C-alpha cells in the first residue's frame, strides 16, 4: 500500500512517524514522508498540481502529533482534503489518543496508544479490501457513527515490534521556504534538531515507559488508558540500539552528538549500564546527553556515564515546593535534587565537560507566593554552573491536571489551553514573583543576596501583586524585562 506521513515538528525528529515508516517499509509498503518545519509561521501554499505530482498516488495519509500541533494538523488536513478528497486521513499520537472523538470531527481514523503492531494490520486489511473497522487501537468515523475499538496490550519485547527509525532521504520531502522539495542531505542537516548541544544531534530512544505518572505529563494519560502496564519500563536490547547508532554514524558522519531521550536514562540496573556504556564507548564514542530523575542519580551510575562521554544532563526539578511536587505525584525531595546537581557539578569541577540543565514549571494557577519562594530558594542553592529550562504549565488533554483544572473551572475546553506555546518567554502574563524567578534564572543571577531579599520581601510582594497589568505585564514584562535579560546574557557571554 502507498502511504504518506505528514510531520509538523520544526526539527525533523518525528521519532514516532519514522519508526512506523520503518515498520511499514519492512513489510513491503511504499512510504513517503513530508516534513513541514515552517508550517507554524506560514500556511501551506503549495500549488495543487505540485502536491498531486508528489503525493497523488497516496492511499492513506497519516499524521502523528502532540497537542500543541493540533491547529497545524487541522490546517494540513483541510489542505489535503481539498486536493485529494477521497483519500482517508489517519491521526495518531498522544493528542488523538486523548481526544479521539473530537479528532474524528476532522479526520477519518484515529490511532490510539502504541500502534507499532496494529498499524501494519490496519494497512494490510485496507490493501486487501477487507473490513478494517474492527482493528484494535483504532477508532473510525462512519457517517454519523463512531466505531470504537479496544487497545491491544503494550508489547513487552520491543525488539519484536520496534524498528530503528526511517532516516533515509528517498521518498522524503520537505516544505522549505514555501516550496515543496525532495529532501536533500543539506536540508536534512539544516533543519535537524540541535537540542541538546546546539549542533545536529541524533535523538535515540532505548526504552519506553516512565516510573512516574506526573499529573501534568502525557504519561498520566498513558496510565489512565493502559493501567499499570504503562508504568513498566520496556527496554530495547543493547545490540539493537548500538546497531541503530552505528548505521546512523556511518550514513551521516556529521552527527557529532547523541541525545538519549528516555524519560529516565539511569532508571536501569547497574549491570545493564556497565554493559551498554562499555559497548557504546567502544563502538560509537560520541558525546551524549541524558534525561534523569534525581532519585536515580546513584554515584556509581553517574560515574559510568561521565567516563563514557556524558556531556549534557537534563534534570527534572519542576518546583522547589515539595507541596507541589507531591501534587504532581513526583516522589522527589529537594534533598534528592541537591544531591543530584551537586554530584554532576563535582565532575565539572574535576575538569569533565558537563552541562547541567534543570527543568522548572512555572505559571501554575495553584501555586502560592510561598511555593514560588521555595523554587527561588532552591535555585539559589544550586551550583552557579547549573542552567535552567523554564516552562509554563500547559494543560494537555487526557492528563490528570487537565481534568482537575476543567472540573475546578480554571480552564475551559478551548483548544487554546494546550495549543499555545509552553515556552515561558512566549507567555504574556506572569505573577510578580515569577518575574523575579525568571530574572534570576534567565539573567544569570543579577540580583545579589541583598537585592533578592528586598525583591521577595513582604512589602515588595504586596506592591508587585497589586501592580496594574499594563505595568507588570506590559511595561515590565514586554519591554523592560526582555531587554534586561538579553543584556545580562550578553554580558555573561563576553
- For residues 248 and 285, membership in a common domain is answered with yes
The answer to whether 53 and 46 are in contact (CB under 8 A) is no
Are residues 247 and 393 part of one domain?
yes
Q: How many whole angstroms separate alpha carbon 396 and alpha carbon 215?
A: 10
- Of 427, 449, 479, the position where a domain reaches its end is 427
The residue from 397, 427, 457 where one domain ends is 427
315 lies in some domain: yes
* Shared-domain flag, residues 25 and 70: yes
**Residue 108's CATH number:** 3.40.50.280
Q: What is the pLDDT of residue 489?
A: 66
Alpha-carbon gap, residue 262 to 273, rounded angstroms: 14
Does 331 fall in a domain? yes
Alpha carbons 235 and 206: distance in angstroms, whole number: 6
Q: Is residue 72 part of a domain?
A: yes
- Confirm whether 188 is domain-assigned: no
C-alpha cell read off for 35: 516534513
Which pLDDT belongs to residue 177? 85
Asked whether residue 221 is domain-assigned, the answer is: yes
Predicted confidence at residue 189, as pLDDT, reads: 93
CATH number at residue 360: 3.20.20.70
Containing domain of residue 451, as a range? 428-494
374 in a structural domain: yes
Number of separate domains in the chain: 3
Q: For residue 494, what pLDDT is reported?
A: 53
Q: Which three cell numbers stand for residue 52?
A: 498531486
Q: Domain check: are 323 and 243 in the same one? A: yes
Return d(Cα 13, Cα 3) in angstroms, integer. Answer: 19
* pLDDT given at position 42: 72
434 and 407 within one domain: no
Alpha carbon 116 to its chain's center: 19
Q: Indicate whether 119 and 161 sit together in one domain.
A: yes
Same domain, 432 and 319: no
Query: Domain check: are 38 and 115 in the same one?
Result: yes
In a domain, 343, yes or no: yes
Q: Are residues 16 and 56 in the same domain?
A: yes
* 180, part of any domain: no
- Whether 329 and 468 map to the same domain: the answer is no
Pair (468, 407) in one structural domain: no
- Alpha carbon of 142 to those of 88, 95, 129, 226: distances in Å? 12, 21, 16, 26
| CA–CA dist 61, 76 (Å, integer) | 11
State the pLDDT at residue 138: 98
**What does pLDDT average to in each consecutive run of 10 residues of the chain (494 residues)?**
93 89 97 89 83 97 94 94 97 96 97 97 97 97 92 94 95 91 95 91 94 90 85 93 97 96 95 97 98 96 98 97 95 95 98 96 95 97 93 93 95 90 72 94 89 96 94 88 75 58
Whether the pTM exceeds 0.75: the reply is yes
Residues 121 and 198 in one domain: no
Amino acid at each position: 500500500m502507498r502511504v504518506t506521513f505528514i510531520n509538523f515538528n520544526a526539527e525533523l525528529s518525528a521519532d514516532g512517524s519514522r519508526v512506523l515508516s520503518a515498520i511499514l517499509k519492512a513489510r513491503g509498503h511504499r512510504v513517503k514522508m513530508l516534513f513541514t518545519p515552517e508550517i507554524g509561521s506560514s500556511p501551506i501554499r503549495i500549488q495543487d498540481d505540485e502536491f498531486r505530482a508528489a503525493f497523488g498516488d497516496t492511499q492513506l495519509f497519516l499524521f502523528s502529533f502532540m497537542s500543541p500541533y493540533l491547529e497545524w494538523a487541522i490546517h494540513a488536513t483541510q489542505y489535503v482534503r481539498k486536493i485529494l478528497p477521497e483519500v482517508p486521513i489517519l491521526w495518531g499520537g498522544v493528542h488523538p489518543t486523548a481526544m479521539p472523538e473530537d479528532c474524528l470531527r476532522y479526520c477519518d481514523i484515529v490511532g490510539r496508544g502504541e500502534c507499532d503492531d496494529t498499524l501494519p494490520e490496519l494497512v494490510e486489511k485496507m490493501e486487501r479490501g477487507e473490513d478494517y473497522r474492527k482493528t484494535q487501537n483504532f477508532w473510525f468515523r462512519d457517517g454519523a457513527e463512531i466505531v470504537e475499538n479496544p487497545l491491544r496490550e503494550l508489547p513487552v519485547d520491543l525488539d519484536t515490534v520496534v524498528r530503528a527509525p526511517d532516516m533515509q532521504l528517498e521518498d522524503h520531502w520537505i516544505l522549505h521556504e514555501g516550496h515543496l522539495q525532495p529532501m536533500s542531505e543539506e536540508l536534512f542537516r539544516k533543519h535537524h534538531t540541535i537540542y541538546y548541544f546546539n549542533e545536529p544531534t541524533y535523538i535515540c530512544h532505548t526504552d519506553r515507559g516512565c516510573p512516574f505518572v506526573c499529573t501534568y505529563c502525557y504519561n498520566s494519560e498513558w496510565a489512565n488508558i493502559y493501567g499499570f502496564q504503562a508504568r513498566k519500563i520496556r527496554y530495547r536490547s543493547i545490540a539493537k540500539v548500538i546497531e541503530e547508532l552505528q548505521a546512523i554514524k556511518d550514513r551521516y558522519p556529521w552527527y557529532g552528538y547523541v541525545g538519549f531521550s528516555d524519560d529516565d536514562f539511569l532508571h536501569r540496573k547497574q549491570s545493564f549500564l556497565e554493559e551498554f556504556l562499555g559497548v557504546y564507548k567502544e563502538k560509537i564514542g560520541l558525546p551524549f546527553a541524558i534525561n534523569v530523575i534525581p532519585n536515580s542519580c546513584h554515584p556509581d551510575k553517574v560515574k559510568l556515564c561521565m567516563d563514557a562521554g556524558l556531556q549534557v544532563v537534563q534534570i527534572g526539578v519542576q518546583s522547589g515546593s515539595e507541596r507541589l511536587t507531591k501534587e504532581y505525584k513526583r516522589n522527589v525531595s529537594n534533598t534528592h535534587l541537591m544531591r543530584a546537581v551537586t554530584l554532576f557539578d563535582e565532575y565539572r569541577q574535576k575538569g569533565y565537560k558537563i552541562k547541567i540543565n534543570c527543568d522548572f514549571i512555572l505559571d501554575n494557577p495553584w501555586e502560592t507566593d510561598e511555593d514560588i519562594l521555595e523554587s527561588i530558594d532552591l535555585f539559589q542553592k544550586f551550583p552557579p554552573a547549573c542552567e535552567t529550562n523554564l516552562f509554563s504549565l500547559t494543560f494537555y488533554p487526557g492528563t490528570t491536571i487537565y481534568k482537575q483544572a476543567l472540573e475546578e473551572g480554571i480552564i475551559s475546553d478551548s483548544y487554546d489551553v494546550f495549543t499555545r506555546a509552553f515556552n515561558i518567554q512566549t507567555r504574556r502574563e506572569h505573577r510578580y514573583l515569577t518575574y523575579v524567578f525568571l530574572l534570576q534564572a534567565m539573567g544569570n543571577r543579577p540580583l545579589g543576596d541583598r537585592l533578592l531579599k528586598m525583591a521577595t520581601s513582604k512589602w515588595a510582594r504586596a506592591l508587585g501583586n497589586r501592580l496594574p497589568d499594563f505595568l507588570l505585564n506590559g511595561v515590565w514584562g514586554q519591554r523592560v524585562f526582555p531587554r534586561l535579560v538579553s543584556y545580562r546574557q550578553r554580558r555573561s557571554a563576553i
